[in-house]
Amino acid sequence: MDYLKIFAPATVANVSCGFDSLGFAVDAVGDEMTFTKTTEKGVKITEITGAELTYDVDENAASAVVKKILNDANADFGVALTIHKGFSPGSGLGSSAASAAGAAFGANQLLGAVYSELELTKFAMFGEKVACGSEIADNVAAAIYGGFILVRSYEPLEIIKLPVPSELRVVAIHPQISIKTKDARAVLPKEIALKDAVTQWANLGGLVSGLYTDNYDLISNSLVDMVAEPARKPLIPFFDHIKNSATKAGALGAGISGSGPTVFALCEGDIVAKSVYKSIEESYKNKGINFEMFISKVNHKGIKIIK
């Protein structure tokens, strides 16, 4: 294979109670990237569209990952890379993760698919470090594995792919403001009360159990975040208003996607999802802030080759 074009999905991380450990991929939004083998070794970015990103190979998450993989594999070729961002950096939908995970996947295909999904996740985590300073796995693993994933352990890295109930849908609203991951992490508490920690652990266990048993009531009851949401929601204008609008319209629950400002709502079925979409849209359209929205199924496949 000398050329390929891929779709790298946006992702929702944390999923309320699963801070830095849960994530899932979406169908509706993502990046497109192309990879072309070159006889000259090394990596070069030939085009970036959809967002203003650096062309510096060592500072761009995608090219940095491709460079690392080619060096690790001692490749006898180089790669020319193009990136089309299908959603905004700083949206809380895993923008840098889509770039990093897509880069790992694409480079691996040109190498003959020699690396496993777990190994690709490790490479993509390096891209996250380049982009935001932290080697976090939840977004990149969701993009690479597809569906819902649980980061069971970081040392050693262990990713568990979870089942997804067939009627699970996500509605998301992205207020057009930018929140940097570093800033969102800075507001997190350094310590939490034991009572809150126990509640968080129980909710994470309940959500995982609900996914395995198709128990939408259990999923709903478990979508409660005692750690990140209370600290981060002041960064998102009218967050409580969005969340209340979603739950009143029938959403199973709502929370902050990744570092924000995107807010997600999980729903059972298309009819409820459309109702939740309309309710959020109506409640936010007069707030003086531009926004984008989408409805999506959970993306079971993750990154895919489209050409």
Q: Has residue 8 got a pLDDT over 90? A: yes
CA dist 126 and 146 (Å) reads: 19
Residue 249 inside a domain? The answer is yes
89 and 123 in a single domain? The answer is: yes
pLDDT in tens, 223-264: 999 999 999 999 999 999 999 999 999 999 999 999 899 999
CATH assignment of the domain containing 58: 3.30.230.10
DSSP class per residue in 169-186: EEEEEEES----HHHHHH
Q: Has residue 128 got a pLDDT over 80? A: yes
70 and 206 in a single domain? The answer is: no
The strand pairing partners of 298, in sequence order, are 26
| Tokens coding 214 | 């198709």
Residue 302 inside a domain? The answer is no
**E-strand spans in the chain?**
3-13, 22-38, 42-49, 78-84, 148-154, 157-162, 168-175, 253-256, 263-268, 291-297, 304-305
Give this prediction's pTM. Answer: 0.94
Q: Has residue 7 got a pLDDT over 90? A: yes
Considering Cα of 257, then 229, then 195, then 217, what sign does the dihedral take?
negative
pLDDT in tens, 190-205: 999 999 999 999 999 9
Q: Has residue 111 got a pLDDT over 80? A: yes
Residue 259 inside a domain? The answer is yes
pLDDT in tens, 132-181: 888 999 999 999 999 999 999 999 999 999 999 999 999 999 999 988 77
Task: Name the pLDDT band for 182 (thresholds 50, 70, 90).
Answer: confident
Say what the pLDDT of residue 234 is.
Answer: 94
How many domains does the structure of the chain reveal?
Answer: 2
Say what the pLDDT of residue 114 is.
Answer: 97
Which residues are known catalytic residues? 128, 181
149 and 231 in a single domain? The answer is: no
